[in-house]
Chain A
Amino acid sequence: MEEQELIPHLFRTEYRKITVVLCKLFGIENIEIAEDIASDTFLLASELWGLKGLPQNPAAWLYTVAKNKARDYLRRNNNFNQKIVEQIKLAYSGTEEIEIDLSDRNIVDSQLQMLFAVCHPAIPAEAQVALSLRILCGFGINEIADAFLTNKETINKRLFRAKEKLRIEKVKIEFPGEAEISRRLETVLTTLYLLFNEGYYSSNQDVTLRQDLCLEAMRLTHLLIENKSTNLPFVNALLSLMCFHASRFEARVNNNGETILYQDQDTGLWNQELIHKGEHFLNQASQGNAISKYHIEAGIAYWHTIKADTNEKWESILQLYNQLLLIEYSQIAALNRTYALAKANGKAEAIIEAEKLNLNNNHLYYSLLGELYTEVDNSKAIACFETAFTLAKSTADKVLITKKIQRLQ
């Protein structure tokens, strides 16, 4: 890899490792110090490597510099020293030299513990996602702002408030106790799912950035699976769901960055390797008796990887949506259920059911109605799509709806 590519790449992968390890050492209240040391390390790297060329082992070089900077920091700042170093020394059984452990094992442990800290129930969900992107995924402020379709200032404020909250709540960077793990994992999984969806359903035109978000969510979920005490069925179900969705990355966007709807996708572009992975994790998820919403959603996503448009497929999807709605209502589940109902039981029944949903502010609702009325009552279908067009906010959605209307005219 060339130097111009290598530094951003290393920044993504190594910045987050250095930050979490230092933050674990200093405590969450000193998260900015950890971030500053990590940033200074990369600043020095970009200066020196430009002059002298790349070191033999760039990652090891970064670790050494980060360690030295951390030690310097501790030596220079007496205040910080008195308060923190005593605690650190206690934790490290009184040795004089502070050990900064950048071993693979400690990096993984610190990342997992940080994941639990960031996804603390006291932190608002949106802030959890931004914090995860910054600390655990090593995203720059600009990238996070792009991902949320907002500006740097908003993200900086959001991150600042989230870190304040971590301090006020005195959130510890540690594994939750055995009894707590399942409950705490629920918040973690919600955040990882949000992170994934942020990439998968965002109207952002930057396809690479969107895929990165999804891949990061999958990487963090995979960390939970590699760890024995968090390798639980519902974690596997979530990863399975993500794999099935991600298998359609290539097929769902055309060269112009426009969305291609499921029924119009070139199934040859579906990623078979990810589909197999999804099946593997779904099998792992079916150990045990508990069925989470992730199990059901993974089941739905599994059926979507089957190409043949059979009654069995749509009947299964319909029943899974019925079950999902019994666990938790959401507008999107209600809409998708009605689509499956049309496929399984026919349009006549689905139209009656769709009219009952009354989701009058949702453009997807009118798109669904338009879809159901197509070939049943085309003028009504056009009227529905036109309402959908006025309600839709993103350009991508408007383009799709316009195409639907043109096909009917």
Chain B
Amino acid sequence: MISAENLRYRRVLLQMDTSTHCRETLDAAIDIAAHLRVELQAVFVEDSDLISVGGLDFVHEFSFSSATARVLDKQTLDAQLKALAGSARRQLEHAGTRRKVTVGFHTVRGNFQQEMTNASQDADLIIAEGTGRLRARYYRAQLTGRNVTGPMLRPTLLLKGGKPLAKRFTVICDSAENAGKCLRAVASLFPGEGRELTLLPSAANAADGAALAKALAAIIADAGLDADILAPVGLTADAVLRRLGSLDHLLIIADDGPLLGDKANAHLLFESRHPLFLVH
């Protein structure tokens, strides 16, 4: 039986930085916190790399709006960071008041990954913006979304492009065990009617795929779930994404399964337009 009893999210952490600051991500996080009736803690990280850039007096910043070069000194950078953090805080508080969600906000300065690892110690669920697009404010250049989850310690919801969450959930099942884990996570995080649940078996070969599909059928039958099982695909992100087509799905996948074990697959999934729920 799939139960959410042992999977209760009590503390939700929203990762924010200069690049992830976008209203829609924040709104999506508030929605989830309101739905779970839990407190939302936001951490705004001022990346040490960026601070270092501000200290190099020969470095120029090229803004997207004008393409003109100007010296990015420490003072200007500090002012920009403060302005962004202040804006993010106001937005969060406003959204929290509107949705009646208790919110917390604090700013840390240091290595992004290290600070996030520290902050996530007390969280049950991490929400982050994970799009790696250059033009977007959330592009990190070398520090793309996959880096966020590098040292992942907690279940992480990686939103893409600030879009609100769709009601289409597709569980990428690279093993029966992981499928059960993912279904429990879904039941906990996204209960309720109206959701469209699909299971996509992903196996190295057809025989394994068929066996996996059979196992999945048994799982959903046992759980009494209303879910579709798609025809199995190969154990690659490319095969998975091709099967999903253009529709926006929230992909639920275990972070320690064979699919994400391959860095190339992980890269593709992180870069895709689909938001990810990485079940720890």
Q: Is the pairing of A and B real?
A: no
List A residues at the B interface (Cβ < 8 Å).
none
